[in-house]
Amino acid sequence: MASIELKNVVKRYGTGKTANQVIHGVNAQIKDGEFIVIVGPSGCGKSTLLRMVAGLEEVSEGEISIGPRVVNDLEPAERDIAMVFQNYALYPHMSVFENMAYGLKIAKVPTDEIKARVDKAAKILEIGPFLHRKPRELSGGQRQRVAMGRAIVRQPQVFLFDEPLSNLDAKLRAQTRLEIQKLHRELGITSLFVTHDQVEAMTLAQRMIVMNGGVMEQFGTPEEVYNRPATTFVASFIGSPPMNLLKNAPDAPPDTLIGIRPEHLDITPNGWALRVEAVEMLGAERLVYGRWAHGAGDELVIIRTEESHTVPALGSTIHVTPRADKTHQFERHTGKRRAEHP
The full set of domains in the chain, from first to last, is: 4-234 (3.40.50.300), 246-331 (2.40.50.140)
How confident is residue 342, by pLDDT bands cut at 50, 70 and 90?
Answer: very low
Q: Would you give the distance in Å from CA 265 to the centre of its chain?
A: 26
**Range from 22-31, 113-122, 245-254, 261-270 carrying the lowest mean pLDDT:** 245-254
How confident is residue 296, by pLDDT bands cut at 50, 70 and 90?
Answer: low
pLDDT at 172: 84
Q: What is the mean pLDDT of residues 17-34?
A: 94
Check whether 114 has a pLDDT greater than 70: yes
Tell me how far apart the alpha carbons of residues 259 and 246 are, in angstroms, rounded to a whole number. Answer: 6
Torsion over CA: 246, 251, 256, 262 (sign): negative
Check whether 341 has a pLDDT greater than 60: no
* pTM, entire model: 0.90
Find out whether 336 and 283 touch, Cβ atoms under 8 Å: no
Q: What is the mean pLDDT of residues 153-177?
A: 89
81 against 297, higher pLDDT: 81
Q: What is the pLDDT of residues 55-71, one digit of tens each?
A: 999 999 999 999 999 99
pLDDT at 15: 86
- The whole-chain average pLDDT of the chain stands at 92
pLDDT at 340: 61
- Adjacent-strand bridge partners of 302: 289
Q: Would you give the distance in Å from CA 26 to the centre of its chain?
A: 16
Find out whether 150 and 183 touch, Cβ atoms under 8 Å: no
